[in-house]
Structure 1
Amino acid sequence: MPIASLRQVEKSYGVRRVLAGVNLTLMTGERVGLVGNNGSGKTTLARILAGLDAPDAGEVVLRRDASIAYLEQEPRLPPGLTALEAVLTGLGQWSAARARYDAATAALERATGSAAVDALVAEQAAAAAEIERCGGWSRAAEAESYLARLGVRDPSAPTERLSGGERRRVALAALLARRPDLAVLDEPTNHLDVAAIEWLERHLAEDYSGAVLLITHDRYILDRVCTRTFEVDRGTVYAYEGGFGAYLEAKAERMAHAQRTEANRQNFLRRELEWLRRQPKARTTKQTARVNRAEAELAKSGPPRDRRVELSLEAARSGKTILELRGVTLELGRVLVRDFTLALNQGERIGVVGPNGSGKTTLLRSIVGQLPPTAGEVVRGKHTAVAYLDQNRSGLDDDRSVYDNIAERRRGLDLGGGHPLDIARYLERFLFDPTAYAQKVGSLSGGERARVALAVLLSGASNLVLLDEPTNDLDVATLGAVEEMLLDFAGAAIIVTHDRWFLDRVATSILAFEGDGKVVRHHGNYSDYLERLAETEAAAEPQPTARPAHAPAKAGAPVARRGLSHAEKRELDGILGKIEAAEGEVQELEAKLGDPSVYGGGGDKVADLVRKLEAARQRAAALVARWEELEQRSADAGA
């Protein structure tokens, strides 16, 4: 059954036509990936579907009573709330019923007189019934679980104090907790570590009941979660069956067909032009029609060619040493890296993985000299030239134009061999049109800003490249260009990224932050690292200490699951008994509150029973949620 449809939808911004007569349909419960170059109109289409923007023409048709939620790239959270309260506030009727229940419970503690107590107990019972109707008492525990899974460590933190990445994680948790019929997710993996991305991938593919429209550069999620893929290209939306791999194959066939059609048209034109040049003396009606047909074909333009970012990285001359870390320890309030040693050679590309806040960015900052190590030594070679792209793209001046940020008031760049390149020509390589040259960098979209940062990074020679989350805000085509550039680079590179596809293509070894300052180097790409991790866990029981985040091994392969430790197996064996006991306590307390004689003893006794009942319900809900988690992990590990 369709949940949402666009019919002949058009949208323009000034003279730029973003969507041109778009028709598409999303079915109930399906997962659809939305891909396209930066600026192609993906976010515009998503906002129109979510009802946040109106089309210039056409219509949006929604299933009656369908609920739609949209995850913005820059979400706004209500002020004055904690992270958990912000998630619970989005639960609508459940939150209102819970507020009524809490108010009645608080009033019972102060109530005197049987009539007032009776009225409050009735209000409390009605609110409790509404809570059950809206999903039950476990919704609060579920919301807290979502926050934990997505890396929000302190659910009591005020929203005003959260970083941009934390706000996005809270907003994503709030959307998942709402369970809308259609979830429109715009770059949900930005600011998530690999463990959180892996969980989100599993949740969307296996547990989420609603439909999902997913805009992301994470090609593993697109390939494993999505059953259809929409591509936005020059105002048109093309639909493909399957995930990212199937989309690539189908698009290649579509483009090949377009090229064959154009070749046939060109052959026809050559034949007709040859005939026209003979200039026959007599023109029959049939000949006139032939002339008109040739002229019509001449007036047509061929299929547009895809513009691609052209990236190249000039390697500076290297000495014997590029980079050495000798017994490096890094502390920022706690130990992030302890006694770590590394030697980096030409041609090596190291991917860095680990939970958010584990110290990955701190390590890069120490390498470039922004943060001296607490102990040990960072040694850069005499001829080492570092190119550093940080997460915030802080090397850009937001108040200056695109042109000035690149040119630094110079007319040309020397990109090797003593051959200067005009700045305008250089910007064309990064898909900037002349109309964008004077635009201030502060007004650019995330993808455009990322391309400017790449242009600055690549404007000089280097032999050591440090990239901190380079994939954020880049479209898939540009990511491919970055990957090809690094594969061709003669120097060395260290890349912090959560993009598993990127690491599988580029990395020659992995640095895994495993917690408590432990950093381990594993040779091979990300899939090799994951396979060895699985072998190690199979050979020995996993410890309940911090472990490295990990992700799926091969494209199309099942996601590796973490099994249960010995203690967790014992916990699983005994948890059903605990659930039965907790539910028995709930039933006993409910029976006591249903006894009319209880209310003759005054409000204090009733209020105490109500508090005990609420605590028992929460214990039971938490035990059930824990049992479901352990049971699922046990089943996954044995699959």
Structure 2
Amino acid sequence: MAQPPILMLQDIRLTFGGTTLLDGAELALGPQERLCLVGRNGSGKSTLLKIVAGLIEADSGRRFLQPGATIRYLGQEPDLSGFATVRDYVDDGLAPGDADHSGQILIEALGLTGEEDPARLSGGEARRAALARALAPEPDILLLDEPTNHLDLPAIEWLEATLKARRGALILISHDRRFLEALSNATVWLDRGTTRRLDRGFAHFEDWRDEVLAAEEKERSRLDQRIAHETEWLRYGVTARRKRNMGRLRALQNMRDERRNLRRSAGTVSMAATEASASGKRVIAAENVSKSFEGRPIVRDLSIEINRGDRLGIVGPNGAGKTTLINLLTGNLAPDEGKVRLGTQLEMVSLDQRRAALDPNETLWRTLTGGSGDTVMVGGTPRHVAGYLKDFLFLPEQARSPVSALSGGERGRLMLARAFARPSNLLVLDEPTNDLDLETLDLLAELVADYSGTVLLVSHDRDFLDRTVTSVLVAEGDGHWIEYAGGYTDMLAQRGARPGASEPKEEAKRTASPDKGKDKPARAETRRKLSFREKHDLETLPGKIETLESEIAKLQERLADPALFTKDPDGFHTATKALETKAAERDAAEERWLELEMLREELESAR
């Protein structure tokens, strides 16, 4: 960090109910730094952020805030009670001297009017109002705890662009991998009560974390070998039999204490879906399906065929009707027009985004067993409920606790545990990533990608969609839905606009045809040639990409020097910024080349 920190935490310690949550945690934030705070669910990230905000006082340690610096904090559950309108709530967060109109500008940018009653807001609307309140004063330090929760993709991408344009400092907690990669330039890892810092963005975090854990495991192995050697001496050594060497004995005891104190990292979820026998080849066939509510079209004349093994992602703004569409496709809701035919031998398991299927007064034990016995059938094999809960990182003492005592992330894991214990060949996942930590998200993505059955997935997580689905169904407005091959990024390349735009490209409309396998006559507007600029870009972009890759490799090699930051902090930050810029230029060039290459192939096939 080239400039003096605007905020600093030193040796922060905090204990809750006899359990040490923070044990010497530290954090430093530069004036324009964008820092992401990462760690497992329950590791204390939100608590540490509240200490940064001054909302919680640590048991010990030091908090320094540069005099005059302003802070705004967005928690996971903002409290809007006591305000007549959203505008009143947002304006209440302004300080003397702040522009009165800034709050209203942000309110409207986030899709609200300001006249809404806070008591009647949905989760997404409440989150937008809280964002407007946090951003309006343009604070020196902005603290955001899971800001993308309940937001749809257009809002997430608006927020991403807005935060990129800010000049102030930022500390961010999020489970949205793409969001973290786009915004962060430094990472703090909170693990087992302590913090480690990486002076690079989240895109580099996981490789670094794995190196740290591998080094820890290697050190544990060496310590185990030394303990075994000294124990052997203690039991059988000639000197030990004749007289005790008390110095060596004390050294052995110290090594054992060190081994006990070298705590292992948090456990990993053991996740596997119980798969039923294969369904029929055709899983869902919808023909000219339409559905409206109070005159508003939710689905208009949709025809789609979903076959065994397809993994369909469904995306669109909040209120577009994604959950309604899921209910139509699975037969839980009758269409106004058209028909939906379900295939044979279907065994469906659903995961509800609202966790409505969980009884808050029921224990985890009874939630999984249904109140009978102490075993859970998983893949046809009985598992003791305590052991199965352990696979999903629940402690034995939590088994008899009520669901109401669980955090949002823990409820998500419980829903997954219950869903995956049941045999299925059709998984219906409605926002399954809510509140899950990054490691659990990785495992869930692998499970979905490897699932041999069929998947219907509603998600606002761009990275999760890219890693799991084979096609994306997008809400285009006025009840129209269009299917695109590939993941979220592939959809953008084909569509040329973000979800929520009013007019899709004509080539995307053709891919929406229910007769995907039939050749269609080319439309008149596609019978054109590549422009001179398009031809030039198509020919020169590969060379530009190659040059950028070479420059990126040189920057990465320079930054790989562990002594660079100590010797030349300004040079380190310059190289880091240059690496981010070059990587962004390369990504944009690759996306442009892919778009032009697809256009060229389409024009040639239309001749």
TM-score scaled to structure 1, two decimals? 0.74
Q: How many residues get paired?
A: 501
- Structure 1 stretch 163-172 or stretch 263-272: which is displaced more? 263-272
Q: Does 1:357 align with 2:339?
A: no
Asked if the contact 1:79–1:160 (Cα under 8 Å) also holds between the matched residues in 2, the reply is no
- Structure 1 stretch 228-237 or stretch 154-163: which is displaced more? 154-163
Asked if the contact 2:368–2:376 (Cα under 8 Å) also holds between the matched residues in 1, the reply is no
Asked if the contact 1:262–1:303 (Cα under 8 Å) also holds between the matched residues in 2, the reply is no
**Residue 406 of structure 2: which of 444, 457, 475 is its match?**
444
How far apart are residue 188 of structure 1 and its match?
0.3
Cα distance in structure 1, aligned partners of 2:408 and 2:388: 20
**Residue 340 of structure 1: which of 297, 302, 313 is its match?**
302
**Residue 198 of structure 2: which of 224, 240, 249 is its match?**
240
Partner of 1:51: 54
Q: Does 1:147 align with 2:85?
A: no
Asked if the contact 2:449–2:469 (Cα under 8 Å) also holds between the matched residues in 1, the reply is no
Partner of 1:6: 9
Partner of 1:198: 157
Question: What amino acid sits opposite 2:396 in the alignment?
Answer: P
Asked if the contact 1:151–1:192 (Cα under 8 Å) also holds between the matched residues in 2, the reply is no
- Structure 1 stretch 401-410 or stretch 301-310: which is displaced more? 301-310
How far apart are residue 160 of structure 1 and its match?
2.1
Partner of 1:597: none
Q: Does 1:331 align with 2:282?
A: no
Aligned ranges 1:543-582 → 2 under 5 Å: 545=502
Change in CA separation of 1:486 and 1:543 when aligned onto 2, cut-off 3 Å: closer
Aligned ranges 1:267-306 → 2 under 5 Å: 267-281=225-239, 289-299=247-257, 300-301=259-260, 302-306=262-266
Asked if the contact 1:309–1:429 (Cα under 8 Å) also holds between the matched residues in 2, the reply is yes
How far apart are residue 264 of structure 1 and its match?
2.3
The one of the two structures with greater contact order (alpha-carbon pairs below 8 A, sep at least 6) is 1
**Deviations for 1:257-290, whole angstroms, at most 9, x for unmatched residues?**
1122222223333443444444224899996544
Question: What amino acid sits opposite 2:226 in the alignment?
Answer: F
**Residue 185 of structure 1: which of 121, 144, 155 is its match?**
144
Cα distance in structure 2, aligned partners of 1:436 and 1:384: 34
How far apart are residue 245 of structure 1 and its match?
2.1
Cα distance in structure 2, aligned partners of 1:170 and 1:255: 40
3-state SS, counterpart of residue 93 of structure 1: coil
Question: What amino acid sits opposite 2:395 in the alignment?
Answer: D
How far apart are residue 473 of structure 1 and its match?
0.8
**Deviations for 1:189-227, whole angstroms, at most 9, x for unmatched residues?**
01111111112112112x212211101001112112111
Asked if the contact 1:325–1:340 (Cα under 8 Å) also holds between the matched residues in 2, the reply is yes
Cα distance in structure 2, aligned partners of 1:506 and 1:231: 27
Change in CA separation of 1:477 and 1:151 when aligned onto 2, cut-off 3 Å: farther
Asked if the contact 2:141–2:170 (Cα under 8 Å) also holds between the matched residues in 1, the reply is yes
Asked if the contact 2:316–2:500 (Cα under 8 Å) also holds between the matched residues in 1, the reply is no
Partner of 1:502: 464
Asked if the contact 1:10–1:57 (Cα under 8 Å) also holds between the matched residues in 2, the reply is yes
Cα distance in structure 2, aligned partners of 1:372 and 1:390: 19
Question: What amino acid sits opposite 1:529 in the alignment?
Answer: M
How far apart are residue 146 of structure 1 and its match?
2.3
Partner of 1:23: 26
The percentage of counterpart residues that share the same residue type is 38
Change in CA separation of 1:291 and 1:319 when aligned onto 2, cut-off 3 Å: same
Partner of 1:131: none
Cα distance in structure 1, aligned partners of 2:340 and 2:20: 52
Q: Does 1:311 align with 2:271?
A: yes
Asked if the contact 2:285–2:306 (Cα under 8 Å) also holds between the matched residues in 1, the reply is yes
Asked if the contact 1:325–1:342 (Cα under 8 Å) also holds between the matched residues in 2, the reply is yes
Cα distance in structure 2, aligned partners of 1:383 and 1:474: 32
How far apart are residue 544 of structure 1 and its match?
7.5
**Residue 377 of structure 2: which of 414, 433, 438 is its match?**
414
3-state SS, counterpart of residue 56 of structure 2: coil
Asked if the contact 1:310–1:429 (Cα under 8 Å) also holds between the matched residues in 2, the reply is yes
Asked if the contact 1:83–1:156 (Cα under 8 Å) also holds between the matched residues in 2, the reply is yes
Cα distance in structure 1, aligned partners of 2:175 and 2:346: 32
Cα distance in structure 1, aligned partners of 2:83 and 2:220: 60
**Residue 514 of structure 1: which of 476, 486, 493 is its match?**
476
Aligned ranges 1:144-183 → 2 under 5 Å: 144-152=104-112, 154-183=113-142
Cα distance in structure 2, aligned partners of 1:504 and 1:171: 29
Partner of 1:129: none
3-state SS, counterpart of residue 37 of structure 2: strand
Asked if the contact 2:495–2:504 (Cα under 8 Å) also holds between the matched residues in 1, the reply is no
Aligned ranges 1:32-71 → 2 under 5 Å: 32-71=35-74
Change in CA separation of 1:290 and 1:283 when aligned onto 2, cut-off 3 Å: farther
Cα distance in structure 1, aligned partners of 2:382 and 2:136: 55
Asked if the contact 1:515–1:547 (Cα under 8 Å) also holds between the matched residues in 2, the reply is no
Asked if the contact 2:292–2:298 (Cα under 8 Å) also holds between the matched residues in 1, the reply is yes
Partner of 1:396: 358
Change in CA separation of 1:372 and 1:271 when aligned onto 2, cut-off 3 Å: same
3-state SS, counterpart of residue 322 of structure 1: strand
**Deviations for 1:138-186, whole angstroms, at most 9, x for unmatched residues?**
x52x43342344343x432222221222111101111111211111111
Cα distance in structure 1, aligned partners of 2:221 and 2:104: 59
**Residue 176 of structure 2: which of 218, 230, 255 is its match?**
218
Cα distance in structure 1, aligned partners of 2:362 and 2:244: 63
Change in CA separation of 1:544 and 1:203 when aligned onto 2, cut-off 3 Å: closer
Asked if the contact 1:241–1:247 (Cα under 8 Å) also holds between the matched residues in 2, the reply is no
**Deviations for 1:90-123, whole angstroms, at most 9, x for unmatched residues?**
22325xxxxxxxxxxxxxxxxxxxxxxxxxxxxx
3-state SS, counterpart of residue 388 of structure 2: helix
Cα distance in structure 1, aligned partners of 2:39 and 2:459: 21
How far apart are residue 371 of structure 1 and its match?
2.5
How far apart are residue 229 of structure 1 and its match?
1.0
Change in CA separation of 1:66 and 1:296 when aligned onto 2, cut-off 3 Å: same
Partner of 1:253: 211
Question: What amino acid sits opposite 1:312 in the alignment?
Answer: A
- Structure 1 or 2, whichever has the larger Rg, is 1
Structure 2: gaps of 5 or more residues: 506-587, 593-607
Cα distance in structure 1, aligned partners of 2:40 and 2:330: 32
Question: What amino acid sits opposite 1:326 in the alignment?
Answer: E
**Residue 77 of structure 2: which of 74, 78, 82 is its match?**
74
Q: Does 1:373 align with 2:335?
A: yes
How far apart are residue 25 of structure 1 and its match?
1.3
3-state SS, counterpart of residue 268 of structure 1: helix
Asked if the contact 1:35–1:42 (Cα under 8 Å) also holds between the matched residues in 2, the reply is yes
Cα distance in structure 1, aligned partners of 2:221 and 2:404: 44
- Structure 1 stretch 83-92 or stretch 332-341: which is displaced more? 83-92
Structure 1: gaps of 5 or more residues: 95-133, 549-635
Asked if the contact 1:150–1:192 (Cα under 8 Å) also holds between the matched residues in 2, the reply is no
Change in CA separation of 1:308 and 1:151 when aligned onto 2, cut-off 3 Å: farther
How far apart are residue 383 of structure 1 and its match?
1.4
